Every structure is written in structure tokens, then in C-alpha cells.
Amino acid sequence: MTPPPRPTLADVTRGRILYGGDYNPEQWPESVWQQDMELMREAGVNLATVGVFSWARLEPRPGERDFGWLDRVLDLLHAGGIGVCLATPTASPPPWMGARHPGTLPRDETGAVIWYGSRNHFCASSPVYRDHALRITADLADRYGDHPALRLWHVNNEYGTTCWCDATAAHFRRWLRDRYGSLDALNEAWGTAFWSQRYGDWEEIIPPRRAQYMVNPTQELDFRRFTSDALLECFTAERDALIDRTPHIPVTTNFMPLFAGQDGWEWAKREDVVSVDLYPDPAAPEGDDGAAWGALVQDLTRSQARGPWLLMEQAAGPVNWRGVNHPRPEGLTRLWSLQAVARGADGICFFQWRQSRQGSEKFHSGMVSHAGPRGRTFRQVRELGADLGRLGALTGSPVTARAAVLHDWNAWWATLSAGRPSSLLTYERPLRAWHRALWESHLTCDLAHPESGLDGYALVAVPHLYLLTDAALDNLASYVRGGGTLVCGFFTGVADTDDRVRKGGVDARLREVLGIGTLHEWWPLDEGQAQPLAPFGDDIAEGAVGTLWREDFETLPGTETVAAYRGGELDGRPAITRHPFGDGTAWYLSTLPDPAALRALLSRAAGEAGLRPPLPGLPTGVEAVRRGAWLFVLNHRREPATVPLPVPATDELTGRRHEHAITLGRHGAAVLREDPSA
């Protein structure tokens, strides 16, 4: 019998943009709670996340339950018309657990205990932790499953703990047995003939703890896979307990943005609602600004969700963990929130509602800051709530992207071991540079797994995927052969799923697609070093340079050299190539071009693939994104910008009609409904 479909984000939104944040009333006397309700209604809040870090209050001693205060909170929220995202408190066990059960505490690579006194102090492999976590989760579901305020379950918080203890070692061995079946298969996969590392008994295997020198990189890769899976087991156990008791309530857990600790593709499959926390730096240096970073995280989260998603946390002001924590300039919170809605968010939430007066995050902002309801922060929160209240009609509407950037956590994990050609080549560096180039070209893109269906995309970009499975390589070849346009970056397709270097340095299937003959050497650049490029044509301008990486390779017949290296050991060797394959085209970039050159190259490839920006003639620093019937225009500049409009349009935020152009103020935004019949 087919199980009934699971509830979705639409069951939570109910035709309106969700708006609110983490609410921690246990930090405040009850005399403050009624004022909270009044201010939430004033701000347009319709969702409060409750209980994330309340385990010690809910279970003050083992087995005891104190739910009375939470009863009153949920009743107050419901009376105020505010829905509840109720969290399981399992991210932060109470001190009694660590004191009575020290085996629940994680250990680091050296065996040192990570003590309680902060948060996330649990070992995901500890059966004692898991048992207590399931008990409190089940009791919450039993008590509040039918509460009329309950809209969404939020399991744990920002999963990311890693442990190297003995319980973890035993769990790791069980995981390896399931993966490999035999020690011979494990030894083959790990290449244990190197450095006399062959294992003769399962009990000899330990996590990659601190060693005399570099540890086995495939052991490290598998341990990262295992850690993601171990945490996922904790999530799914709590999720299943909630589903058993409340099948009508969807379940989420909040991702950290572009975080290496979890395989986000696998995790998203097990969530009803995909959510993320996002904290761009308002004072980020040029070339690394928050708008580009936000767009990348938002595109990834939408792609994981395969549709609308929830921004679970952002800051209403300065955070507290950077060296210098800058407030947000006027209008920036509104702008970045609308950017998230443009890229598929159906909910905008903050950490937290009221700024804490004590504890480690007392200087982390809240929707109600230390200045109180008369402060600038709350005024902006109230104005944003009014804006979002006008956009309920767009909930559930899609963001259509015809370009994809390939991303894979296994490929990322494989780059994290030592002993690589260059420690400067991090996984994120080319990914962020390529996505930014597409973003600056006003081309909305999904992120996609390399084994996923790619036929719907006119352009597929692969900034850097060191590890590619056989299935992924066959998928890329099939995509290009069928008429797709592939743009592939350097040091890609080098290793198989066991981090074994493929024959020839790059898999032969990928070399055939890209038009590469012999790859002689990887030739990385030093930090700050630039390699001049000699362009052949108008795709990139004179003066373009490559950074970070170079390669010495030969091309196959029929491969066009778009740019060559100029000067130095690689003078005259191909740097950027273009190769027809089947009915499609494959580009290869063996270096990281400077931002202008990278943007020009990706724009040419996109143009040849038939991709166009949603609005022509956009000024620099202005973003345009289509979501369903709406066109978002976002000014990330610190000065006004005028945007020409091909057809008249009405701004949903102001109700004003604009005939030929719209002028956006500093950090201004518009949500346009176009009138093509005019």
C-alpha cells in the first residue's frame, strides 16, 4: 500500500510568506511574554520557532518533565494568531547528561573530551544520547501534536558535530562492513598497500585520529561520509518518532550554508521542508560580498528542496562571531530578505526574536534589539513584515533556471586531505567564482548533483569536481552528446569514488568529451601570482590573466584553443579550449581566469546555448530574478540605479505602475508584475 504523501511547506505557509524567528521565552520573565505577543503582531510575525535550546528547562533532571511553561507559550502564540515551529531540543544536552554519562560527550582527533558548557556537545554514535533524544522528542510530540498552533517540526539545530571516540570507532567499523562487505574490499578501496597500512581484522580499524604524519586519504574520505550518515541517523530517528505521532505536520532541520559536514543532497531527500541559516557579512571585501554569497546559498537550498524553501535564520543586525561585527546599513536586511524570496524562499526568519541579555550570544542581534521596540532594528523588522505581507500570492511559485552548476559533497570531501598539488585550491574557491560570474551575468542557475538528470539545462558548469563517479562521467558525456553545452574547470575527473587517481590523470571519458589528449602536468600558481593569457578572438579582452592553477596538456584534433598561456614555462600552450562533441559543445578552463574574463567566457557559452538575462541593459550591481509571474529587481549598490523596463509593470510592494523604467534607491527593491499587453 502506497503511504500518503507527506505534508509540505505549502501546508505551513497557507498562502502567505512565513515571517518570524527563534523565540526563547525561557530566557525572560513571563511578564515580558505578553509584550512579545503584541510586538510580534505589530511586526507581522506569523511563525515562531520555539524550544531549540530548552532541553535543560524541559528535562531539569533525568526523566522529569517541565512542560507547563511551554504550554503557556504555545497558548499565547496561538491566541495571537502566530504559528509555531516546535523544535526538538537535542542539539544541546543538559549538563546532567555529560556529568552522568561522559560517554555521550564527543572526543577530538587526539582523544581529548569536548566538555559540556557550550552547545552541540554530543556524540552522534552514543546510544545513551540517542535514547534520551528520542524520549524527549516522543514526549514533545505526544504533548503538542494536536496543539492548534503547531505548524512545523524543527529537529535539532545545525547538525555538524564530529567525534572520534571509541563508540564512534565501533560505529564506523559497522558502517564500513556494510559498505565493503569484506576486509579485502576495504584494503583495495583504501590502497592500504601504501605505507604498510593493510588491515587484517576489523577491530584494528579506527577513525582517522591524530597520527605521526598524513593519514590515509580514503580513510578520511570514508570517515566524512560516515559522519554525515551518523548524524543523519540521529535526524531520521527523531523525524520518524515525530511522523509516527504527527503525520500531518512536516519536519525540517536547518542546514548551515554550504557546509562540508553533511551531504546536503542526501539529507534534503529526508526532509519535508528544506531550510537553511544564512549570515552574509555586510562588510565583506570587494569580490566577496554578501549578495553573491547569498545568491549561491539560496540557489543551492532551492535546488535541494526542488522548489520553495525556508530561510530559518538570518541576522537583523550585527552577529557576534566575526573579528569585527558590523551592523547592516539601512535597507540591507530588507534587500537580502527579498533576494531570498526571489530565489525561492517562502519563509523569512531570524535568529532571534529578542536579543539576549546574557550568555554567549548577547551581542548577536535580535528582531527586538537592546534598543527595544523604538530602535532602528525593530522599525526595519516591522517594515519588512509589511512588505512580505503583500507577497503572499507568490508562495509556491517556481524559480526556473536553465543553467546548472554541478556540486557534490563527496568531491568536496576528497579535496580536504593533505598532500595535494596546491593547498590554495579549495573546493569552494572556484565554485564561488563561477557562480558569481553567472550571477553577475544575470543568469539564474540551479545547483545539481553530477549524476542527476541534466537534459533540462541549456548550460552545465563544472567549476571543480576532483572526484567523479563512473555514473557521473557517463552522465556528462551523455549530456554533451545529446546537444548540451558543458563548461568544465580544471582538476576535474581526476579521482574515482575511492580517491584513486584515474589513468592518465583525468578520466578518459571526460578527456574525450573535452578534447584533451595527454595531460602532462598540473602546474599550480602561488597566491597572488597571475599567468597572462593570449586570447584568440573577442571572448576575453587583452590583459586577461589566469590565477590559482595551470595545466600542461595537449588537445585532440578538432579542439579550438580559445586562449593560450603567454610567457613562462607554458608559453603558447592551450589554456582555454572549446570542443564539439556529438551534438553539443564542451569548454575546458585549465586555469581560473580573472573575474572579468571568467564572466565573458561563461556569458559566451551561455549565449551560444540560448540563455539570456531576464532584463536587458541592467546596471552593474542590480540583480533581476524571475519567480513565477513576478520579476524581482534588486539594487545592491550604495547609490540609486535606474532600470529600463521593456514593458510597463506594477510594483507589488508600492502599488505604483512604471511605464518605461524604474528607479531604485540605495539597497532598493521592487517586485514587478509586468503588463505585456500595454
Catalytic positions, please?
A: 158, 313
Which of 664, 660, 622 is CA-nearest to residue 644? 660
Task: Say whether 627 sits in a helix, a strand or coil.
Answer: strand
β-strands 560-565, 574-581: how paired? antiparallel
The C-alpha R_g of the chain, in whole angstroms, comes to 26
Strands 551-555 and 150-154: unpaired
Q: Is 65 exposed, middle or buried (0-12, 13-18, 19+ CB in 10 A)?
A: middle
- Take residue 673 and report the three cell numbers written for it: 508584475
Consecutive H or E run containing 292? helix 290-305
CA distances from 73 to 36, 70, 97, 505 (A): 11, 5, 26, 60
Return the H-helix or E-strand segment holding 141. Answer: helix 127-144
d(CA 339, CA 151) in angstroms, rounded, equals 25
Residue 346 CB neighbours (<10 A): 26
Find out whether 524 and 517 touch, Cβ atoms under 8 Å: no
Put residue 647 in one of left, alpha, beta given phi > 0 → left and psi -120 to 50 → alpha: beta
Indicate the pairing of strand 83-87 with strand 445-448: unpaired
Judge contact between 78 and 144, C-beta under 8 A.
no
Cα–Cα nearest to 350, from 26, 18, 17, 22? 22
Greatest distance between any 2 Cα atoms in the chain: 78
CA 475 to chain centre: 24
